[in-house]
Amino acid sequence: MNNLIDYIKWRGDLTFQQAEFNEVDNLIFAQIAYLNLGMVKGQVSMKKLGEIYKDKALSRQKNTEKETRPFIKKLEGLFLMASESARFENVLVADFIDKIDELRESQFSATTFIIDEKLLYVSYRGTDDTIVGFKENLNMSFSAPVPGQVDAVKYLKMILEKYPQKEVIVGGHSKGGNFAVFAVTGLTDGERERISKIYNNDGPGFTENILKSSAYKKTVGKVQKFTPEDSFVGILMDDEEECAVVSASSSFGILQHDGMNWDVMGNKFVKKESTSKKSKFIDKTIKHWLEDLNKEEREEFVDQLYEIVRNSMNASSINDINENKIKTMYSFVKKMGNLEEDKKEMMQNIVLKLIQSGSEIKKVEREEKIKLRDNFRKKKTSNRKQKKLKRFIIKKHLNLL
């Protein structure tokens, strides 16, 4: 099946004047935002930035033994191909920002793509592989707003003020999709009118207080959300956004979260009727689990988990952990064992609740399946009886004749 690379190969010769902005363009900009594009200040065309980036990448390969992560390599290939296409070469890249604040437990990055004289796309980066970014994702389950969401609002307000005549589309992938939606909720009514569309590409939902706010209610009508069939991230927490399920036939499970695996046909994603059974089960389990934990329990669990990961593994990124799986697991278990008794008991109880939630959802699903089967059998039996009665009435009628 075709993906973003194939889209650029086949439709990259069509400029935005020849073929208007579409949902696939949205994901390309959301994916490119994961790259470090801050090597040039001010505005620079994607064509020029691509040339500079290619030189930097070659220099990096010569001067370091550390391998570039496969995820970033794929995105570099996407960016460089886009930068050489007629469709994207003249798009201006501007206002890049990238910051990590360990004290605030925040990772925030955004890029603005000026598509033409009338239109721009504000792209919020999703979770990178820093431990801080991982922690901020977890914080979103009990705290609102997190610092990154506040930064997203400030950034969007700055862009609206800087480019007062332009139509604005906002989007992002993963946590970036969440930030895109939240940023628009933080605008005034007048500012919000300038936002024509919000794209949430498999981003998590929101806490209840945000969902109930009037600002969210005013924003949600502008949102188009996409989640893959095996969605895991996009189903976390709740939202009220119009959602389309996307096929990602070359991958399964959590790998479908990677937008590079989403199937494309023409200028649209290939759609599915609904998420998979696996995704629905995870969704019900996580929601059931979170409902069973109060805010304080969620916060304490997240804080302890983060401290164990950060202090016991000598790692600053998820990639560091992934490269040393056995050592990582040993350190994690050892650190868990060294916790104070009350904290150890708290962690064990919360993990047990997660397991119990899964068991309870499974039990409910089994009961529903049995109920459906029984109803089907009853219906089948009823139909047989009706047919038998019908045959008897006809026979009786014929005998009377």
- 269 burial (CB, 10 Å; 0-12 / 13-18 / 19+) is buried
Our count of domains for the chain comes to 2
Work out the pLDDT band at 216, boundaries 50, 70, 90: very high
Element (H, E) at 127: none
Boundary-marking domain end, from 276, 310, 328: 276
HEC letters along 177-213: HHHHHHHHHCCCHHHHCCEEEEEEECCCCECHHHHCC
- At a CB cut-off of 8 Å and minimum separation 6, what does 51 contact? 83
| pTM listed for this prediction | 0.76
E-strand stretches of 209-324? 223-228, 242-246, 264-265, 268-269, 271-272
3-state secondary structure of 338: coil
List the 44-45 sheet strands across, edge first. Answer: 44-45, 92-101, 106-114, 119-124, 167-173, 195-201, 223-228, 242-246, 271-272
Give the whole-angstrom CA distance, residue 154 versus residue 354.
Answer: 36
For residue 394, being part of any structural domain is answered with no
For residue 294, being part of any structural domain is answered with yes
Packing angle of the helix pair 147-162, 175-185 (nearest 10 deg): 60
Residue range 169-181: mean pLDDT, rounded: 95
CATH number, domain with residue 128: 3.40.50
Q: What are φ and ψ of residue 8, in 5° steps?
A: -65, -40
For residue 395, being part of any structural domain is answered with no
Q: Do 126 and 214 lie in a common domain?
A: yes
The first and second tokens of residue 288, run together, are 């059931």
For residue 11, being part of any structural domain is answered with yes
Q: Do 203 and 322 lie in a common domain?
A: no
3-state secondary structure of 84: coil
Boundary-marking domain end, from 276, 298, 324: 276
Q: Do 54 and 203 lie in a common domain?
A: yes
Work out the pLDDT band at 400, boundaries 50, 70, 90: low
Q: Do 211 and 120 lie in a common domain?
A: yes
Q: Do 268 and 335 lie in a common domain?
A: no
- At position 117, the amino acid (one-letter code) is E
Q: Do 352 and 255 lie in a common domain?
A: no
**Are the beta carbons of 140 and 125 closer than 8 angstroms?**
no
Please write the tens of the pLDDT for every residue from 197-209.
999 999 888 888 8
Q: Do 293 and 249 lie in a common domain?
A: no
Boundary-marking domain end, from 241, 276, 311: 276
E-strand stretches of 69-133? 92-101, 106-114, 119-124
Q: Kindly tell me if the per-residue pLDDT of 365 is higher than 60.
A: no
3-state secondary structure of 176: helix
Helical segments of 45-130, H only: 46-63, 70-83
Q: Which carries the bigger pLDDT value, residue 351 or residue 107?
A: 107
Domain with 44, as residue range(s), is 4-276
For residue 377, being part of any structural domain is answered with yes
Q: Do 224 and 128 lie in a common domain?
A: yes
Please write the tens of the pLDDT for every residue from 103-117.
666 779 999 999 999
Work out the pLDDT band at 97, boundaries 50, 70, 90: very high
Give the pLDDT confidence score for residue 76 in this predicted structure.
Answer: 93
Q: What are φ and ψ of residue 37, in 5° steps?
A: -105, 20
What is the average pLDDT value for the chain, to the nearest integer?
79
Work out the pLDDT band at 65, boundaries 50, 70, 90: very low
Residue range 390-395: mean pLDDT, rounded: 64
For residue 189, being part of any structural domain is answered with yes
Work out the pLDDT band at 247, boundaries 50, 70, 90: very high
For residue 401, being part of any structural domain is answered with no
Q: Do 52 and 188 lie in a common domain?
A: yes
Q: Do 135 and 153 lie in a common domain?
A: yes
Q: Do 272 and 298 lie in a common domain?
A: no
Give the pLDDT confidence score for residue 307 in this predicted structure.
Answer: 62
- At position 192, the amino acid (one-letter code) is R
Q: Do 314 and 203 lie in a common domain?
A: no
Q: What percent of the chain has pLDDT over 70?
A: 61
For residue 37, being part of any structural domain is answered with yes
Q: Which carries the bigger pLDDT value, residue 20 or residue 237?
A: 20
